[in-house]
Structure formats: C-alpha cells, structure tokens
Amino acid sequence: MHGNSKITLAIATYNRKHILEKMIKSLYLSDIGNNVNIRIYDDASTDFDEIFLKEAFPDSKTIIRNPVNMGPGKNMHRIFTDFIAHDDDILILNDSDLIFNREWLAIVEQIIDHTDGVMSLYNSVLHTDILEKFQIENINMLNKRSIGGAGSVFKKHIIKKILSELPPSDTYDWDWSNYLVKSGIRLLVTERSYVQHIGIAGFYSGNYFGGEMSGALCDYGINFIGGNEYNEKIQGEFFNELLQIYTKEIERFKKIIIGGKLLRTYHMLRSVYRLLKGGMALKINELNANLHKLFLFKH
C-alpha cells in the first residue's frame, strides 16, 4: 500500500468529553498523512454538541450525529455503510478512548497489503485466542480468532462482504469477527499495540469486572509504547485510576465471596492491586507487560 491510498479514520464518539479530549491531542501528535480523511460518528452525545466536534476536529471531512443513541454495535454498522458510500480505500476504526503511537499509520501502510484485507493495531488483552504467530515485513503478527472494533483496519471488499451478510446488532464486532474467520479470512493483529485504550470498562455502570466473568475488568493493548511524554502521562493516569478502582473493588469482593465462586477473581484482583500499587515507580511499559501476565487465561 502506498501513501496515495485514501483512508477513512472513523472516530466513534459518545459522551466522555474529558477522555475524548485526550484522544484528540494524542491523535494530532501522531503522524497523520494527507491521505487520511477523519470522519466523526457521534452516537447522540449529551456532553458536547456538533460545534465542539467541529472545533475539536477542524480538518474532519464529515461529522454525523445520530438523532438517538444506537449503541456501539449499530453505530459501527452505520460507519460501515457510510464508508462504502465514499471513494476511500481503507477504513480504520477508532474509539474515542484510544491514544496513538506516532507510527500507527506507517504500520498500516506497511502491513495491510500482506493481509487478507483486515488487520488490527490493537493487541487486546481480552482477545486471547491466538491461532499462529509469524512476521510480515519484520513486524511480529498474531492470527487471532477474534478482534474488537478498536484499531481495526479494513479494505473495502471486506466491508462490502460483511454488509452483504450481517445485519446490524448489539454484538456487531463479535458477529463480523466470527463471520470472517468462518469464511477463511485471517484476523491479523500486530503483536505490539500501536493504539492504547484509556477508558475503564463498565465505569458508568459500576460493573468494572464483568460480573462473574473473571478477568473482564478492563481492556488495554499489550506492548503499547507511548512514544512521547503526553502518551506516557495519559497511561500513568489510566493505571492510577485502575489502582483506585481496584482498591474499592477488593473491599466489595471481600463482602460477597461465600462459596468460592468468585474466589479466582478476588485473588486476581489482589495480585493486580499489588502490582499497580508497586508499579507506579516502574516504567509504564514494564507495568503493562507485567499486567498482561495476569490475563493469560481464557475469558
């Protein structure tokens, strides 16, 4: 792929203005090529309006606001349908709670033509089923059984294939992951994440750990390197927030553990708590790697 290929960087937004502002600054500190068309897809936010989005993304090509909240899955389907209406060649999905390594675009341009038309820049700790490991252009890659939407990259024929077979749903990213794998299309992921998650899963619902599903406490990208002081600062804030939540959740789990059903989650929380509490003095990259070791079981 060459730099003259047209790329849609689709940014899905919904409230959380303070996190969105962090993403915006990180994005504009990265290397964005002139071939990248930023398109905003807001899912009926109430924290900000279209004027804010226009000022935050002055070079955006389009800003679409849903009249009512559709949910992330159906908003993703809308992104897909809008993408094929434009003449852009590549679609990159971006959530509003990601930060960017400076080289994210260069990696896409280096790798995408060596894939089946889909890849991800985000090696999520929640998608652990690895089918194989190999290299493309000296970049370590993983073939996974599933990937989420954040950081995913698609060629147009893949999006057309998905739209022709799958209706919108609340589990749209899982749906197209499963469909593509069953169709023999590899879901390739860079072993090193080039985008990083900075939002706390379930923060607004008060359910940080996926109920009884051990380990579904937060999503973050493995082996992410910030590459600048701002990204390192934001990662540090993210881990400090996790530390505060873990402190609260450990006390809650003490009260509800009776027969051992949640015992595994409790011991995992204790381990992560100790790591986070002691890890603030470590380099963020070392802390990230050590955290990953606690999530090697399947979810």
pLDDT per residue of the chain (299 residues) written in tens, 0 to 9 = 555 789 999 999 999 999 999 999 999 999 998 999 999 999 999 999 999 999 999 999 999 999 999 999 999 999 999 999 999 999 999 999 999 999 999 999 999 999 999 999 999 888 888 999 999 999 999 999 999 899 999 999 999 999 999 999 999 999 999 999 999 999 999 999 999 988 865 433 334 443 333 344 567 788 898 899 999 999 888 877 777 776 766 666 555 544 454 555 555 555 555 655 555 445 555 656 555 555 443 33
Measured at the CA of 5, the angle between CA 20 and CA 22, to 5 degrees, comes to: 10
What's residue 77's pLDDT? Answer: 97
Are 209 and 182 spatial neighbours (Cβ–Cβ below 8 Å)?
no
Would you say 179 and 165 are in contact if contact means Cβ atoms under 8 Å apart?
Answer: yes
Specify whether the CB–CB gap between 243 and 281 falls below 8 A. Answer: no
What is the DSSP secondary-structure string of 167-225? ---TTHHHHHHHHHHHTT--EEEESS-SEEE-SPTTTTTT-TT-TTSTTTT---BTT--
CA dist., res. 185 & res. 201, Å (int): 29
**What is the structure's pLDDT at 236?**
84
Pairing label, strands 90-95, 152-155: antiparallel
d(CA 33, CA 6): 10
pLDDT at 146: 93
Q: Is residue 143 helix, strand or coil? A: strand
Neighbour-count burial for 101-121, b at 16+ CB within 10 Å, e otherwise: bbbbbebbbebbeebbbbbbb
CA dist., res. 264 & res. 217, Å (int): 13
Query: How far apart (Å, rounded) are the C-alpha atoms in residues 192 and 142?
Result: 10
**Cα–Cα distance list, 80 to 51, 203, 244 (Å):** 24, 27, 37
Q: According to the model, what pLDDT value does residue 216 have? A: 42
Phi, psi of 39 (to 5 degrees): -130, 130
* Residue range(s) occupied by CATH 3.90.550.10 in the chain: 7-195
Q: What is the pLDDT of residue 237?
A: 86
Q: In whole angstroms, what is the distance from residue 156 CA to residue 91 CA?
A: 7
Q: What is the pTM of this model?
A: 0.82
- The CATH H-level (homologous superfamily) assignment of domain 7-195 is Spore Coat Polysaccharide Biosynthesis Protein SpsA; Chain A (3.90.550.10)
How big is the CA angle at 280 (ends 277 and 286), to the nearest 5 degrees? 110
How far CA 35 is from CA of 32, 87, 97, 160, 162, in Å, comes to 8, 12, 23, 21, 24
Coil vs helix vs strand at 258: coil
pLDDT value at residue 240 = 78
Question: What pLDDT does 272 receive?
Answer: 58
